[in-house]
Amino acid sequence: MASPLFSLLQIKSIILRNRMVISPMCQYSAEDGFANDWHLVHLGSRAVGGASLIIQEATAVSPEGRISPEDLGIYKGEHIEKYKQITAFILSQNAFPGIQLAHAGRKASTSAPWQGNRKLTLDEGGWRTVAPSAIRYHEDEALPPLELDKEGIAKVIADFKAAARRAHEACYKVLEIHAAHGYLIHEFMSPLCNTRTDEYGGSFDNRIRLLLEIIEAVKTEWPVDLPLFVRISGTDWAEGGWDVDQSVVLAKLLKESGVDVVDCSSGGAVSHQKIPVEPNYQVPIAERVKKEAHICTAAIGLITEAEQAEAILKNGQADLVFFGRASLRNPYLPLTFAHELHTDIIWPKQYERAHVKENK
Ligand code: FNR
């Protein structure tokens, strides 16, 4: 049987050469949102490495939506030029460039992991964060986030819309909305972070309203023939929080609104979460969403081996497999897996001899 991992997948007008996707991963290496050669080489080498789709890290739709001052942004026209270079290179390698649009909400304004991953004060170049409700993520944070008013919510939606327009101009071919990991959109979705009493809080319909409004706004700028993904946290892993049942209901609505793939991650809403981390720990979320909402899903999280990824696809648990840390260890993971599985793929011509029989 042909390898499911190296089978094609058409989503709208694009045909992915295999099912291996590079998961978005912050590099904390930008200045004022601008990409540089680090991002070009980091993303470009993963395109050379054989992934069909490389999704660029959480890219902020506004300066205050950045997790750290070093996050990528797409809140100015000037950002586009370097992104065009990145997308052109990825496309030249027969891979597709994707971008994850994000607003970090109350988890914004922190230092990079190697600088302690802590809240930055205004003096340190930080800023006042915003959220659905004025609830701190960590109790020891000096200030709670500011509760967004209607005008603030309208600005967030407009920022996503403008970012989608710029992403298209920069030639990204897949747009992923980041609605996971306790960032702004997920904060609205989770009852543990959202205690609003207006039409953006309370009932399920109210808590998902921001996400659906952002999707509608993005769709006015993002071409109908290009894929739209949404990353969700399938569960908060905390009592009284967002859960997989709600994710299934949401996924049905996402399908109706034209979303192509639900990328099923989890956690991040609250610091008291209890995540049972082990290989494939999030795969059952992708499986339930796929089977019950009848929408394509992506599996992510501690998927590190070729046979493991093959099995997820063979078992019909997901349509795509995302790779995070394993692809940081090995940018050529797809080429390595193709070699291990004795699967014929088109290698970059410069690297072809890595695949010919060992002693040639
Ligand atoms: C991440 N992750 C992440 N997720 C996301 O949706 N947007 C992002 O920008 C980031 N940034 C990020 C940076 C780094 C350095 C890591 C390691 C992770 C989460 C990532 O995409 C993935 O979901 C997790 O790492 C779990 O998958 P793996 O690493 O077990 O394959």
Q: What is the pLDDT of residues 83-98, one digit of tens each?
A: 999 999 999 999 999 9
Amino acid identity, position 42: H
| pTM > 0.95 | yes
- The answer, yes or no, to whether any atom of ligand 1 lies below 6 A from the CB of 88, is no
Asked if the structure places residue 106 within a domain, the reply is yes
Banded model confidence at residue 2, pLDDT cuts 50, 70, 90: confident
Residue 360 is assigned to a structural domain of this protein? no
Is position 186 within any domain? yes
Say if 184 falls within a structural domain: yes
Of ligand 1's listed atoms, the one at least distance from the Cα of 67 is: 9
Q: Residue 265 CA: which ligand 1 atom is closest?
A: 23
Q: Residue 358 — very low, low, confident or very high, per pLDDT cuts 50/70/90?
A: low
Q: Is residue 315 part of a domain?
A: yes
Task: Specify the long-range contacts of residues 254-258, CB closer than 8 Å, at least 24 apart.
Answer: 254/215, 254/230, 254/293, 254/295, 255/293, 255/294, 255/295, 257/212, 257/215, 257/216, 257/219, 258/215, 258/219, 258/224, 258/228
Alpha helices in the chain (DSSP H): 37-48, 80-92, 150-169, 184-189, 204-207, 209-219, 244-256, 283-293, 306-314, 325-329, 333-340
DSSP one-letter string for 337-353: HHHHTT------GGGGG
Assess if residue 293 is contained within a domain. yes
SS3 31: strand
Give how many domains the chain has, as a whole number. Answer: 1
pLDDT at 359 over 80: no
pLDDT at 356: 74
Query: Does residue 1 surpass a pLDDT of 70?
Result: no
Mean pLDDT score, 186-210: 98
Q: How confident is the model at residue 136 (pLDDT cuts 50, 70, 90)?
A: very high
Give the 3-state secondary structure of residue 326: helix
Q: How far apart are the first and last CA of the chain?
A: 27
Two tokens at 55? 């999704």
Would residue 183 show up in a list of annotated catalytic residues for this protein? yes
CATH number at residue 42: 3.20.20.70
Q: What mean pLDDT do residues 336-359 have?
A: 89
Rounded to 5°, angle at Cα 243 from 240 and 247: 145
| Closest residue to atom 6 of ligand 1, CA basis | 24
User: Is the predicted pLDDT of residue 355 greater than 60, yes or no?
Assistant: yes
CA atoms 116, 122, 124, 130: torsion sign: positive
Substitution candidate for ligand 1 out of 20, 21, 23 with most atoms within 8 A of CB: 23
Q: State the DSSP code for 227.
A: -
Domain range enclosing 241? 4-354
pLDDT in tens, 109-129: 999 999 999 999 999 999 999
Amino acid at 17: R
The residue annotated as part of the active site, out of 28, 83, 183, 200, is: 183
57 in ligand 1 pocket by Cβ < 6 Å? yes
Residue 359 maps to a domain? no
